[in-house]
Amino acid sequence: MGNCLKLGFELSEATVAKYMVRHRKPPSQFWRTFLANHMKDIVSSDFFVVPTMFFRVLFVFVILSHDRRRPVHVAVT
């Protein structure tokens, strides 16, 4: 902007800002990085049905921890 004033051109800051190079935002983390950073807080759940030999139905609910890959909770009715 100072060089333009020396040449006799009067410009507003908005005009100069419009043509200046904009810096890109820093890249966000990748999905794999996100999972690695939050692994201890992530759990998954599954609900499924198991038919038995005597034609009964068992309902199974499982919650698994991704941190140690171990079951947190298992319920069968």
How would you write the pLDDT of the chain (77 residues) with one tens digit per residue? 667 777 877 878 888 888 888 877 777 788 888 888 999 999 999 999 999 999 999 999 999 998 888 999 999 99
What backbone torsions phi and psi does residue 26 show, to the nearest 5 degrees? -65, 145
Kindly compute the dihedral angle of the four CA atoms of residues 45, 61, 49, 47, in this order, to the nearest 10 degrees. Answer: -20
Cα 76 to Cα 50: distance, rounded to the nearest angstrom: 10
Residues forming a β-bridge with 76: 60
Domain boundaries, the chain: 13-76
pTM summary value: 0.55
